[in-house]
Amino acid sequence: MLGEKKYFLFDIDGTLAVDTTLYDGTKEFLEWIEETGGRCFYITNNSTKSRKDYVEKFKNWGIRTEESQFMTASYAACLYLKKYYEGKKIFVLGTPSFIKELKEAGILVTEKAEDHVDCVLVGFDSTLNYDKMTDACRLLFQKEVDFLGTNPDLRCPASFGFIPDCGAICRMLEVTAGRKPYFIGKPNRLIADLCMQQCKGSPEEYLVVGDRLYTDIACGIEAGIETAVVYTGEADPEEVRTSIWKPDYAFDTIRQLYDAVRKARGEGAGR
């Protein structure tokens, strides 16, 4: 039930904002959650930015956050690699920011198709070029080299429409090398679990909010948390009707969700 929710796991792109523009109601909703003793987490599959970058981005919107509130696909990838690839060499297709974050986490990273690479990790690489793709293929044709992706999203919302995301980059490699990656980000429940480890409280007190069914909504369902979709990004009512991933709640905008949560708490909507 919406009235029970204290801990919110928000997707960012297409849910709270598009590009650098916050949606109407986002700032008030986030502030209201924290003021009323709740906690906001930001679960994003966007691997172009580190947790530090996100704290800075939110600061520019006038929203105070801490790094621990950001569960990014790149941060989850760091934890995953530390657990399963300790001391192994990882070839990364990623932005300088992502590569820096991995190195700071103690991961042995290379950007060249060298010997003794154990794994290819693909992020949302907005600095991608053909040489990098060729190097990735050189490695993926060695079957002992593993194939990981930060997130399966095919496209990322932009002000004019969409741009290719990690999933689309991986598709190019998939059809070229004939291999499929294992994705660490949403819908993998790992990201939701990392948030739930930080706050005590039952799953009923959590809500996953997102604009995409096969990542955001699927992640909540996989983690046993209720979900709300907002129609400001990718999903629309028609997709909800036909998808296997059904959200518990649906709203046109983040402001409508904010109003509904306040109403469910008996607080009259609007501020």
Cβ burial of 201 (10 Å; 0-12, 13-18, 19+) is: middle
Cα–Cα distance for residue pair 253/184, rounded to 1 Å: 28
CB of 11 to Mg ion, least distance (A): 4
CB of 72 to Mg ion, least distance (A): 13
Choose one: 14-22, 66-74, 104-112, 261-269; the region binding Mg ion (CB under 5 A): 14-22
* Nearer residue to Mg ion within complex by CB, 147 or 214: 214
User: Applying CB under 5 A, does 165 fall inside the site for Mg ion?
Assistant: no
Hey, which residues between 211 and 240 contact Mg ion (CB under 5 A)? 211, 233
Give Cα 143 distance to the centre of its chain. 28
User: Applying CB under 5 A, does 14 fall inside the site for Mg ion?
Assistant: yes
Closest C-alpha among 211, 126, 212, 135 to residue 169: 126
Cis peptide before 247 (omega within 30 of 0): no
CB-closest chain residue to Mg ion: 14
Closest C-alpha among 247, 210, 262 to residue 232: 210
Give Cα 214 distance to the centre of its chain. 12
Choose one: 10-18, 71-79, 110-118, 187-195; the region binding Mg ion (CB under 5 A): 10-18
* Nearer residue to Mg ion within complex by CB, 146 or 165: 165
Q: Tell me the sheet residues that pair with 41.
A: 9
Hey, which residues between 22 and 41 contact Mg ion (CB under 5 A)? none
Binding site for Mg ion (CB under 5 A): 11, 13-14, 211, 233
